[in-house]
Amino acid sequence: MEYVKSKIRDILDFPQKGIVFKDLTTAFKDPQALKKIGDELLQLYRDKGITKVVGIESRGFIAGSVLAYGLNAGFVPVRKPGKLPADTISMSYDKEYGKDTIEIHSDAITEDDIVVIHDDVLATGGTMAAAYNLVKSMNPKKIYVNFIVELEMLGGRAILPAEAEVTSLITY
């Protein structure tokens, strides 16, 4: 994963002053880095019986789709309000630079599903905690949580539910 890490760039003061944004688009555009991300994710979840991969808008859609394809699982998007066309359930949460709300289709997950929720970066954890709670409200058999990058100094893992099995490919 050192190669992937070398392809991630820092953007200073984005989306607001004082934030150092970890931009994974530079890793995603590199074929070797994208393949390494996909291969590592598949290795982690190949034998877990995953039936659905939930990707968080928008960068969680990229590797989440790669993972779903590789596992022969369905892909479920979690989006900002008003972006999903059918009935949804929603949750609001605090993030590192404001408040936000996410939604998922109300019929996206069943009690028979084994789910991995994927996002690109774990910062303060608010988005993933909200996504986890949305998915949990649908009573799947099991939920896994995954990130490509974890920013340990922000402590986001601490606000995720204790029962969540959390993995990150790269930590800073």
Give 48-171's CATH code, choosing from 3.40.50.2000, 3.40.50.2020, 3.20.20.140, 3.40.50.1000. 3.40.50.2020
Catalytic entry in 59, 79, 103, 157: 59
Identify whether the C-beta of residue 8 lies closer than 8 Å to the C-beta of residue 149.
Answer: yes
* DSSP for the chain, written as a single string: -HHHHHT-EEEET-SSTT-EEEETHHHHTSHHHHHHHHHHHHHHHTTTT--EEEEETTTHHHHHHHHHHHHT-EEEEEB-TT-SSS-EEEEEEEETTEEEEEEEETTS--TT-EEEEEEEEESSSHHHHHHHHHHHTT--SEEEEEEEEE-GGG-GGGGS-TT-EEEEEEE-
pTM reported for the whole predicted model: 0.95
Is 57 designated active site?
no
Cα-Cα end-to-end distance for the chain: 12
Is 96 designated active site?
yes
Catalytic entry in 2, 40, 96, 111: 96
Cis peptide before 58 (omega within 30 of 0): yes
Could you read off the pLDDT tens digit of each residue along the chain, which spans 172 residues? 999 999 999 999 998 898 899 999 999 999 999 999 999 999 999 999 999 999 999 999 999 999 999 999 999 999 999 999 999 999 999 876 678 999 999 999 999 999 999 999 999 999 999 999 999 999 999 999 999 999 999 999 999 999 999 999 999 9
Q: What is the pLDDT of residue 101?
A: 97
Q: Which of 72, 52, 23, 170 minimizes the C-alpha distance to 118?
A: 52
Q: Can you give the residue ranges of every domain in the chain?
A: 48-171
Give the Cα separation of 162 and 67 in Å (integer): 24
CA 12 to chain centre: 22
